[in-house]
Structure formats: C-alpha cells, structure tokens
Structure 1
C-alpha cells in the first residue's frame, strides 16, 4: 500500500523542481533578450551580438544569479564604455519588459505555439 504523505511530498518536490527549472529558463531567456537589446544599442549585430548576449548570460550566472541589479550595472558599464549613457531606470524597465516577453516565449514553447 502506498503512503499518501510520501506521495504528496514527492509531488511537492517534483513541482518545486519543475518550477525552478522553468524559472531558470525564463531568466536565461530574459538575459539573452536583454543582451541582444544592449548589443543593438551599441551597434553590434549577428555573431557579435549573440556573443555579447552569451557573455551577459554567463555574467549573470556567475555573479548574480537572479539579481537584476548586478546585471543592470554591467550593462550600464558596457554602454558607458561605448559612449552611450542610459539611465538605470530605463534599463530596469527594459529588463522588466523582457521578463514578460521571455515568459511568453518559454510558455509558448512548452505548449508548442509560435510567439509573434
């Protein structure tokens, strides 16, 4: 006979694991979109833009995890080195907008629908 308490515990653990994996995918996608946007602002395109986005993803994984302030500080510093001044507020707004876009993209991928 199965133990309902253990089954419930396993179900909660599985849900937590699924939710964390989904959260990771969404944040990684957000950071990629943010990196591509910053790259565009600095005049990068193609493989150079992709490389910058990848670097931003890695930076966030190593230095901040989900802490957007460190990611924003890096982006602001990168923009400043290119002679582009952009307010922290504008970067925060863009990051928030891209979080919603990333959520929509990941959710659409999970249900197999293209995002426009």
Structure 2
C-alpha cells in the first residue's frame, strides 16, 4: 500500500502545482492585457498600474474570461478606443502565451 499512497500523494502534489501555475498564468495574462489596454487608452504609468490591478480583480467576479472581456471592452469603448470584443479576445490569447513564457523563464 505504501507505493499506492506515494503515487496518490504525488498526483495530488502535481495537481496542486498545476492549479497554482494556471492561476499565476491567468493573473499575469490579465495584467499584461490590462497594460495593453492602458496603452491604447493612453493612461499614465500610475493609472496603468491601478488599472492592471482592477482588471486582475475583475477576473474574480465569475468563472471564465467573460468578466475580464466585458470590463476591457467597456473601458476601451468609454475611452473612445475603436477596439471590439474580437480584438480583446485575440489580445487575451496572445498575452496568455506571453504570460506562460514569462513564468516558465522565471523558474
């Protein structure tokens, strides 16, 4: 039974590590896409930092990316930036890859 218990613990540890990495990648992606949007809205560095924190917080409203997409589209529209939902989703995909790469390089 010891071998089985060891394998079970190893799987649980790997699952926890994978979940933590997914969370960190998503948080980093949200920060990167917020910086992208802030640049389009021509925010100052201080405003960009605050905006990035707001976008990361917006992701906790509901499961999935819809809350982030809604916030970004609404904020960009309010700032008279001609960017649609498809553009935001494309930016999310691009920043997802970049966020994963950054986290892998930092380890």
- Quote the RMSD (CA, aligned, Å): 1.1
Q: Which residue of 2 aligns with 1:95?
A: 92
Paired residues, what number? Answer: 107
Scaled by the length of structure 1, the TM-score of the pair is 0.87
2:72 maps to 1:75:
yes
SS of equivalent to 2:25: helix
Looking at structure 2, the residues matched to 40 and 75 of structure 1 have their Cα atoms a distance apart, in angstroms, of: 12
Aligned 8 A contact 2:58 2:67 in 1: no
Looking at structure 2, the residues matched to 23 and 85 of structure 1 have their Cα atoms a distance apart, in angstroms, of: 31
Which structure 1 segments of 5+ residues have no match?
111-116
Looking at structure 2, the residues matched to 45 and 68 of structure 1 have their Cα atoms a distance apart, in angstroms, of: 26
SS of equivalent to 1:86: coil
SS of equivalent to 1:64: coil
In the TM superposition, structure 1's runs of 4+ consecutive aligned residues that sit over 4 Å from their partners are: none
Aligned 8 A contact 1:64 1:71 in 2: no
Deviation, structure 1 residue 84: 1.8
Looking at structure 1, the residues matched to 93 and 79 of structure 2 have their Cα atoms a distance apart, in angstroms, of: 23
Deviation, structure 1 residue 56: 0.4
Q: Which residue of 2 aligns with 1:36?
A: 35
Greater relative contact order (CA < 8 Å, ≥ 6 in sequence): 2
Aligned 8 A contact 2:30 2:56 in 1: yes
Looking at structure 2, the residues matched to 33 and 46 of structure 1 have their Cα atoms a distance apart, in angstroms, of: 14
